[in-house]
């Protein structure tokens, strides 16, 4: 018997609770008795289940560890089986005229509609909290009203429900510079942690693309003072002070996303003669240090966009008490690249954000490009999208992606999971998910994946009169949010439906 086991069980558990998943899995194979100690501890079982599912616990709340473990297991089973997709049709918000259009954005389980109330003096934002049986979240709806004279630019609105943060942009009247308003999502008043004035004036140029990305204390936007010179500008929304601006990219089009609270990933599209191929740049906005990653595409690949991934910070502060959430560190970076060719060919490049950061931290080369052959083939998944997937909408959450496609008149979602531990587990336990091919297939310089994944095709509920090619969707902890258009007479009416596990 181990000396360790001569200690009282509660002391042994203190030791074991300090270990991570890999250590616990090794430890339980050392001998029967340690295996039993681990098996009998609910706390350790919960910890193992969290790690194996790629989830993290949100401390606090009333639920015991036993209930949390049980709910987490149910949540993970639901994801693996995908048995029930319960449709919840989101009712249209109050005061939105039948033929009026609202702009819809989604963050962390909160859906926001922006519209001008018909006949009213107000710009209205309607928030809807999507319900979840698996994580005990209720359906909730609330409204904020803003004076129309504020000249709210509806496209320029971002929310981060986990920080109760609402950002919207107005144009200042005198100098026409964009002003970012920092408000509370739940009250509509200036955010308590934001700058005293409640606003941030972007005096360095105009916003190129509407979406402001949010990550923790920082917000980022692409700004430009000249159409061909774009840079990513990072601000601290709590102090209203600019943190940094990335180097100017000679680019037709620049997009970016946050990798974590110190790094952004900037993607620039090629400019003939100057930058012949699309590039990814990991940029540390605290130290202003960056590294270029060369992509396996040429200037003939023109359209490229980076899919931003939700950045979440548990627990949420708007009354929802999350039990557990997807580990914020497990993020997939997805870049979709179109080949300038007829018919168009569409590629997807997926890589774990962690992996990019690991390479960035160990690679000390200066700002010369890091060739694809040295970082890509072993770490990324890069392949042409399958024929029927090439046209569909694409969404990403954590390490999962979802494609909407239509096949033989049926609408489907194709769910792909890239989380290494879940992939392994799914392959062990469920034949239902198809593992990725292990063969390496050469496709015009782009090789088949080393990043393993599993795929599952899910039939979407019928009878929504949905044209999948006009649909958009979002992806969250407990399901898919579909935004589609339904034809009524000559009109197409926008609808939102939440398909929950």
Q: Does 373 bind another protein (CB under 8 A)?
A: no
83-102: contacts with another protein (CB under 8 A): none
Q: Which of 61, 63, 65, 73 binds another protein (CB under 8 A)?
A: 73
Q: What is the phi/psi pair of residue 388, to 5°?
A: -80, -5
Q: How far is the CB of 75 from another protein (least distance, A)?
A: 13
Q: Does 344 bind another protein (CB under 8 A)?
A: no
Q: Does 6 bind another protein (CB under 8 A)?
A: yes
Q: Which of 39, 94, 189, 487 binds another protein (CB under 8 A)?
A: 39
3-class secondary-structure state, position 463: coil
Q: How far is the CB of 314 from another protein (least distance, A)?
A: 15
Distances from the Cα of 430 to the Cαs of 105, 305, 350, 437, 450, in angstroms? 35, 33, 24, 16, 21
Q: Which residues contact 197 (CB under 8 A, 6 or more apart)?
A: 240
Q: Does 35 bind another protein (CB under 8 A)?
A: yes
Q: Does 81 bind another protein (CB under 8 A)?
A: no
**Radius of gyration of the chain, Cα coordinates, nearest whole angstrom:** 24
DSSP 8-state secondary structure symbol assigned to residue 44: H
Q: Identify the CA nearest to 354 among candidates 309, 403, 322.
A: 309
Q: How far is the CB of 72 from another protein (least distance, A)?
A: 10
Residue nearer to another protein on the CB measure, 86 or 432: 432
Q: Identify the CA nearest to 235 among candidates 222, 251, 249, 224.
A: 222
Residue nearer to another protein on the CB measure, 28 or 135: 28
Q: Which of 49, 160, 417, 496 binds another protein (CB under 8 A)?
A: 49
Q: Identify the CA nearest to 112 among candidates 156, 56, 81, 64.
A: 156
Residue nearer to another protein on the CB measure, 22 or 437: 22
Strand order through the sheet with 394-397: 394-397, 400-407, 410-417, 454-459, 434-435
Distances from the Cα of 162 to the Cαs of 321, 335, 364, in angstroms? 11, 25, 35
Structure tokens at 291: 């590294």
Q: Tokens 């690991």 belong to which residue?
A: 358
Q: Does 62 bind another protein (CB under 8 A)?
A: no
Q: Which of 18, 226, 408, 442 binds another protein (CB under 8 A)?
A: 18
Site stretch for another protein (CB under 8 A), options 12-20, 126-134, 386-394, 403-411: 12-20
Q: What is the phi/psi pair of residue 338, to 5°?
A: -100, 140
Q: Does 16 bind another protein (CB under 8 A)?
A: yes
Q: How far is the CB of 33 from another protein (least distance, A)?
A: 8
Q: Identify the CA nearest to 252 among candidates 233, 232, 266, 272.
A: 272
Q: Does 103 bind another protein (CB under 8 A)?
A: no
Q: Does 458 bind another protein (CB under 8 A)?
A: no
Q: Identify the CA nearest to 172 among candidates 208, 202, 212, 209.
A: 202
Half-sphere exposure of 113 (CA within 13 A, CB side): 24
Q: Which of 173, 174, 226, 428 binds another protein (CB under 8 A)?
A: 428
- Residue window 388-427: x/- pattern of binding to another protein, with contact defined by CB under 8 A: ----------------------------------------
Q: How far is the CB of 268 from another protein (least distance, A)?
A: 39
Answer for the pair 349, 382: CB distance below 8 angstroms, yes or no: yes
Q: How far is the CB of 83 from another protein (least distance, A)?
A: 17
Structure tokens at 367: 């700002």
Q: Does 149 bind another protein (CB under 8 A)?
A: no
Site stretch for another protein (CB under 8 A), options 15-23, 173-181, 229-237, 241-249: 15-23
Q: Does 7 bind another protein (CB under 8 A)?
A: yes
3-class secondary-structure state, position 387: helix
Site stretch for another protein (CB under 8 A), options 16-24, 90-98, 119-127, 348-356: 16-24
Structure tokens at 132: 């979840």
Q: Does 20 bind another protein (CB under 8 A)?
A: yes
Answer for the pair 485, 492: CB distance below 8 angstroms, yes or no: yes
Q: Does 34 bind another protein (CB under 8 A)?
A: yes
Q: Identify the CA nearest to 419 among candidates 479, 329, 349, 348.
A: 329
What does the binding site for another protein look like in residue numbers (CB under 8 A)? 1-8, 11, 14-20, 22-23, 25-35, 38-39, 45, 48-49, 52, 59, 73, 428
């Amino acid at each position: 018997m181990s000396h360790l086991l001569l200690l009282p069980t509660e002391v042994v558990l203190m030791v074991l609770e300090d270990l991570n998943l890999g250590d616990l899995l090794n430890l339980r194979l050392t001998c029967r008795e340690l295996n039993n100690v681990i098996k009998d501890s609910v706390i350790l079982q919960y910890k193992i289940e969290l790690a194996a599912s790629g989830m993290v616990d949100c401390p606090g709340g009333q639920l015991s560890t036993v209930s949390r473990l049980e709910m987490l297991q149910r949540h993970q089973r639901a994801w693996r089986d995908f048995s029930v997709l319960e449709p919840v049709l989101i009712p249209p918000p109050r005061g939105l005229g039948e033929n009026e259009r609202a702009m819809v954005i989604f963050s962390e389980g909160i859906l926001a509609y922006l519209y001008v109330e018909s006949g009213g003096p107000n710009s209205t934002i309607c928030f809807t909290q999507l319900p979840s049986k698996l994580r005990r979240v209720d359906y909730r709806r609330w409204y904020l009203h803003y004076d129309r004279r504020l000249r709210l630019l509806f496209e320029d609105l971002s929310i981060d429900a986990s920080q109760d943060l609402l950002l919207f942009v107005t144009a200042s009247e005198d100098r026409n510079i964009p002003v970012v308003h920092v408000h509370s999502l739940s009250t509509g008043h200036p955010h308590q942690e934001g700058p005293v004035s409640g606003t941030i004036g972007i005096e360095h140029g105009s916003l190129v693309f509407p979406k402001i990305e949010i990550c923790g204390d920082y917000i980022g936007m692409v700004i430009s003072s000249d159409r061909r010179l774009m840079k990513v500008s990072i601000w601290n929304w709590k102090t209203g002070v600019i943190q940094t601006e990335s180097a100017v990219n000679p680019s037709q089009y620049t997009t970016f996303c946050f990798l974590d609270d110190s790094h952004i990933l900037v993607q620039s599209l090629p400019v003939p003669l100057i930058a012949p191929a699309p590039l990814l740049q990991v940029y540390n906005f605290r130290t202003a240090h960056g590294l270029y990653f060369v992509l396996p595409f040429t200037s003939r690949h023109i359209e490229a966009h980076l899919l931003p991934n939700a950045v979440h910070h548990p627990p949420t502060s708007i009354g929802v008490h999350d039990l557990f959430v997807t580990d914020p560190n497990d993020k997939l970076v997805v870049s979709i690249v179109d080949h300038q060719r007829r018919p168009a060919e569409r590629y997807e490049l997926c890589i774990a954000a962690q992996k990019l950061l690991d390479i960035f931290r160990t690679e000390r080369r200066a700002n010369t490009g890091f060739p694809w052959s040295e970082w890509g083939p072993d770490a990324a998944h890069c392949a042409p999208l399958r024929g029927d997937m090439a046209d569909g909408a694409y969404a990403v959450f954590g390490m999962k992606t979802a494609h909407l496609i239509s096949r033989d008149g049926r609408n489907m979602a194709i769910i792909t999971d890239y989380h290494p531990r879940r992939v392994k587990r799914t392959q062990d336990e469920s034949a239902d998910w198809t593992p990725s091919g292990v063969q390496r297939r050469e496709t015009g310089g782009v090789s088949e994946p080393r990043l393993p994944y599993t795929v599952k095709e899910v039939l979407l509920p019928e009878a929504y009169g949905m044209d999948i090619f006009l649909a958009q969707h979002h992806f969250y902890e407990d399901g898919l949010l579909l935004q589609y258009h339904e034809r009524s007479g000559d009109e197409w009416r926008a609808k939102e439906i939440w398909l929950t596990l």
